[in-house]
Amino acid sequence: MKKVALLLMLITFAVSAQHTNSALRLGYFSPKVTDGGFILGYQWDRIVDENFNVGFEMDWFKKTYIDEAYVNELNTFNSSSGQIGELNELRAKTNLHDFPMMFTMNITFPLENKLKVFAEGGLGLDFLFVYYRSYQSPDDDNLKVAADFSWRLGAGLSYPIGRRSDVMFSLNYHSSEPSWEYEVTDNTRPGSQKRVFVRSYDMSGFMARVGFRFFY
Protein backbone atom coordinates (compact mmCIF):
# COMPACT_ATOMS: atom_id res chain seq x y z
CA MET A 1 0.00 0.00 0.00
CA LYS A 2 2.94 2.33 0.67
CA LYS A 3 4.12 1.86 -2.93
CA VAL A 4 0.69 2.77 -4.28
CA ALA A 5 0.54 5.89 -2.11
CA LEU A 6 4.03 6.94 -3.26
CA LEU A 7 3.04 6.40 -6.89
CA LEU A 8 -0.02 8.63 -6.45
CA MET A 9 2.11 11.40 -4.95
CA LEU A 10 4.73 11.20 -7.70
CA ILE A 11 2.14 11.33 -10.45
CA THR A 12 0.36 14.29 -8.85
CA PHE A 13 3.54 16.36 -8.52
CA ALA A 14 5.00 15.27 -11.87
CA VAL A 15 2.24 16.70 -14.05
CA SER A 16 2.04 20.42 -14.69
CA ALA A 17 -0.95 22.64 -14.07
CA GLN A 18 -1.37 23.42 -17.79
CA HIS A 19 -4.11 21.81 -19.89
CA THR A 20 -6.08 20.43 -16.98
CA ASN A 21 -9.68 19.95 -16.00
CA SER A 22 -11.49 19.28 -12.75
CA ALA A 23 -14.88 17.76 -12.03
CA LEU A 24 -17.37 17.60 -9.20
CA ARG A 25 -19.22 14.25 -9.26
CA LEU A 26 -22.15 13.14 -7.13
CA GLY A 27 -24.49 10.20 -7.17
CA TYR A 28 -25.58 6.94 -5.54
CA PHE A 29 -23.19 4.23 -4.28
CA SER A 30 -24.36 0.75 -3.20
CA PRO A 31 -21.55 -1.17 -1.42
CA LYS A 32 -22.08 -4.76 -0.31
CA VAL A 33 -21.45 -4.03 3.37
CA THR A 34 -24.50 -1.81 3.83
CA ASP A 35 -27.39 -0.09 2.08
CA GLY A 36 -26.62 2.43 -0.61
CA GLY A 37 -26.36 6.17 -0.18
CA PHE A 38 -25.07 9.48 -1.45
CA ILE A 39 -21.46 9.72 -2.67
CA LEU A 40 -19.57 12.92 -3.45
CA GLY A 41 -16.31 13.11 -5.41
CA TYR A 42 -13.70 15.48 -6.82
CA GLN A 43 -11.58 14.63 -9.87
CA TRP A 44 -8.55 16.41 -11.33
CA ASP A 45 -7.16 15.48 -14.76
CA ARG A 46 -4.17 16.34 -16.90
CA ILE A 47 -5.10 16.36 -20.59
CA VAL A 48 -2.52 14.25 -22.43
CA ASP A 49 -4.28 14.64 -25.78
CA GLU A 50 -7.82 15.27 -26.99
CA ASN A 51 -8.94 11.71 -26.17
CA PHE A 52 -6.80 10.67 -23.18
CA ASN A 53 -6.53 12.05 -19.61
CA VAL A 54 -4.68 10.98 -16.48
CA GLY A 55 -5.39 12.33 -13.03
CA PHE A 56 -6.46 11.86 -9.44
CA GLU A 57 -9.84 11.33 -7.78
CA MET A 58 -11.08 11.38 -4.19
CA ASP A 59 -14.59 10.49 -2.99
CA TRP A 60 -16.57 10.57 0.26
CA PHE A 61 -19.29 8.14 1.33
CA LYS A 62 -20.97 8.08 4.76
CA LYS A 63 -23.30 5.49 6.26
CA THR A 64 -24.58 4.47 9.70
CA TYR A 65 -25.88 0.91 10.06
CA ILE A 66 -26.07 -2.23 12.24
CA ASP A 67 -23.45 -4.83 11.24
CA GLU A 68 -25.74 -7.90 11.17
CA ALA A 69 -22.89 -10.35 10.52
CA TYR A 70 -21.11 -9.05 13.62
CA VAL A 71 -24.35 -9.29 15.63
CA ASN A 72 -24.65 -12.97 14.71
CA GLU A 73 -21.04 -13.63 15.76
CA LEU A 74 -21.59 -11.88 19.09
CA ASN A 75 -24.83 -13.79 19.69
CA THR A 76 -22.98 -17.04 19.12
CA PHE A 77 -20.10 -15.95 21.36
CA ASN A 78 -22.49 -14.92 24.17
CA SER A 79 -25.08 -17.67 23.79
CA SER A 80 -24.19 -19.31 27.11
CA SER A 81 -24.22 -16.05 29.07
CA GLY A 82 -27.55 -14.87 27.64
CA GLN A 83 -26.14 -11.55 26.31
CA ILE A 84 -27.90 -11.59 22.94
CA GLY A 85 -30.29 -9.37 21.02
CA GLU A 86 -30.47 -5.60 21.56
CA LEU A 87 -27.20 -5.29 23.49
CA ASN A 88 -25.21 -6.92 20.69
CA GLU A 89 -27.03 -4.79 18.13
CA LEU A 90 -25.84 -1.74 20.05
CA ARG A 91 -22.30 -3.15 20.03
CA ALA A 92 -22.55 -3.63 16.26
CA LYS A 93 -23.74 -0.10 15.49
CA THR A 94 -21.27 1.28 12.96
CA ASN A 95 -20.68 4.68 11.38
CA LEU A 96 -18.55 4.60 8.21
CA HIS A 97 -16.73 7.43 6.46
CA ASP A 98 -15.16 6.07 3.27
CA PHE A 99 -12.46 8.02 1.37
CA PRO A 100 -11.22 6.26 -1.80
CA MET A 101 -8.17 7.99 -3.33
CA MET A 102 -7.15 6.91 -6.81
CA PHE A 103 -4.90 7.52 -9.78
CA THR A 104 -7.25 7.58 -12.77
CA MET A 105 -7.19 7.26 -16.56
CA ASN A 106 -9.92 8.32 -18.98
CA ILE A 107 -10.31 7.51 -22.69
CA THR A 108 -12.87 9.47 -24.73
CA PHE A 109 -14.55 8.44 -27.99
CA PRO A 110 -16.33 11.29 -29.84
CA LEU A 111 -19.78 10.60 -31.27
CA GLU A 112 -22.14 12.76 -33.31
CA ASN A 113 -23.67 16.06 -32.16
CA LYS A 114 -20.83 16.78 -29.67
CA LEU A 115 -21.78 13.75 -27.57
CA LYS A 116 -18.85 11.69 -26.24
CA VAL A 117 -18.63 8.26 -24.67
CA PHE A 118 -15.79 7.56 -22.26
CA ALA A 119 -14.21 4.65 -20.42
CA GLU A 120 -12.37 5.20 -17.15
CA GLY A 121 -10.44 3.24 -14.57
CA GLY A 122 -8.61 3.84 -11.33
CA LEU A 123 -6.14 2.27 -8.91
CA GLY A 124 -5.40 3.45 -5.39
CA LEU A 125 -6.18 3.13 -1.72
CA ASP A 126 -9.48 3.09 0.14
CA PHE A 127 -9.30 4.74 3.58
CA LEU A 128 -12.15 3.78 5.88
CA PHE A 129 -12.81 5.73 9.10
CA VAL A 130 -14.92 3.45 11.31
CA TYR A 131 -16.74 4.74 14.38
CA TYR A 132 -17.72 1.62 16.31
CA ARG A 133 -18.97 0.56 19.76
CA SER A 134 -16.63 -1.54 21.90
CA TYR A 135 -17.70 -4.81 23.50
CA GLN A 136 -17.02 -3.54 27.03
CA SER A 137 -18.53 -0.04 26.55
CA PRO A 138 -21.28 -0.24 23.91
CA ASP A 139 -22.53 3.28 24.70
CA ASP A 140 -19.24 4.94 23.66
CA ASP A 141 -17.88 5.57 20.17
CA ASN A 142 -14.37 4.48 19.19
CA LEU A 143 -12.44 5.32 16.02
CA LYS A 144 -10.52 2.89 13.85
CA VAL A 145 -8.91 3.61 10.46
CA ALA A 146 -8.61 0.74 7.99
CA ALA A 147 -7.19 0.79 4.45
CA ASP A 148 -7.12 -1.49 1.46
CA PHE A 149 -6.02 -1.53 -2.18
CA SER A 150 -8.89 -0.50 -4.47
CA TRP A 151 -9.71 -0.45 -8.15
CA ARG A 152 -12.53 0.99 -10.22
CA LEU A 153 -13.85 0.61 -13.77
CA GLY A 154 -16.62 2.48 -15.50
CA ALA A 155 -18.08 4.09 -18.60
CA GLY A 156 -20.28 7.04 -19.34
CA LEU A 157 -21.39 9.88 -21.57
CA SER A 158 -20.41 13.56 -21.64
CA TYR A 159 -21.87 16.56 -23.39
CA PRO A 160 -20.63 20.17 -23.54
CA ILE A 161 -22.77 22.76 -21.77
CA GLY A 162 -20.37 25.63 -22.45
CA ARG A 163 -17.05 26.46 -24.09
CA ARG A 164 -15.11 25.13 -21.10
CA SER A 165 -17.57 22.85 -19.33
CA ASP A 166 -19.18 19.42 -19.72
CA VAL A 167 -21.91 17.48 -17.99
CA MET A 168 -21.17 13.76 -17.40
CA PHE A 169 -23.21 10.66 -16.62
CA SER A 170 -21.38 7.48 -15.58
CA LEU A 171 -21.78 3.98 -14.14
CA ASN A 172 -18.81 2.55 -12.21
CA TYR A 173 -17.90 -0.57 -10.28
CA HIS A 174 -15.67 -0.04 -7.23
CA SER A 175 -13.77 -2.82 -5.42
CA SER A 176 -12.12 -2.77 -1.97
CA GLU A 177 -12.47 -4.52 1.39
CA PRO A 178 -10.75 -2.78 4.33
CA SER A 179 -10.58 -4.86 7.51
CA TRP A 180 -9.06 -5.01 10.98
CA GLU A 181 -8.94 -7.39 13.94
CA TYR A 182 -10.88 -6.78 17.15
CA GLU A 183 -10.25 -8.73 20.36
CA VAL A 184 -13.15 -9.33 22.77
CA THR A 185 -12.84 -10.51 26.39
CA ASP A 186 -15.88 -12.02 28.11
CA ASN A 187 -15.36 -11.49 31.87
CA THR A 188 -18.64 -13.20 32.69
CA ARG A 189 -17.07 -16.59 31.99
CA PRO A 190 -14.49 -18.47 34.05
CA GLY A 191 -10.99 -17.61 32.90
CA SER A 192 -12.07 -14.46 31.02
CA GLN A 193 -12.53 -16.10 27.65
CA LYS A 194 -11.08 -14.18 24.69
CA ARG A 195 -11.89 -14.21 20.99
CA VAL A 196 -10.55 -12.26 18.01
CA PHE A 197 -13.14 -11.00 15.53
CA VAL A 198 -12.22 -9.82 12.03
CA ARG A 199 -14.22 -6.70 11.20
CA SER A 200 -14.36 -6.69 7.41
CA TYR A 201 -16.08 -4.00 5.33
CA ASP A 202 -16.74 -5.00 1.73
CA MET A 203 -17.02 -1.64 -0.01
CA SER A 204 -17.36 -3.25 -3.45
CA GLY A 205 -20.38 -2.20 -5.46
CA PHE A 206 -21.84 -0.11 -8.26
CA MET A 207 -22.18 3.66 -8.33
CA ALA A 208 -24.21 5.85 -10.69
CA ARG A 209 -23.06 9.47 -10.87
CA VAL A 210 -23.59 12.78 -12.58
CA GLY A 211 -20.76 15.29 -12.81
CA PHE A 212 -19.77 18.73 -14.05
CA ARG A 213 -16.31 19.12 -15.58
CA PHE A 214 -14.49 22.42 -16.09
CA PHE A 215 -11.49 22.99 -18.42
CA TYR A 216 -8.60 25.36 -17.69
CATH number for the segment(s) 2-215: 2.40.160.20
Following CA atoms 5, 6, 9, 15 in sequence, which dihedral angle do they give, to the nearest 10 degrees? -130
User: Which residue type does 133 have?
Assistant: R
Map residue 190 onto helix, strand or coil.
coil
DSSP readout, 13-65? HHS-SSSEEEEEEEEEEEETTS--EEEEEEEEEEEEETTEEEEEEEEEEEEEE
Q: Where are the domains of the chain?
A: 2-215
Per-residue pLDDT of the chain (216 residues; tens, 9 = 90+): 555 555 555 555 554 445 899 999 999 999 998 889 999 999 999 989 889 999 999 999 999 877 766 666 666 666 555 555 666 666 667 889 999 999 999 999 999 888 999 999 999 999 999 887 666 666 667 788 999 999 999 999 999 999 899 999 999 999 999 988 877 666 555 556 677 777 788 999 999 999 999 998
Q: What is the pTM of this model?
A: 0.78
- Residues paired with 123 in a beta bridge: 103, 151
CB 143 within 8 A of CB 110: no
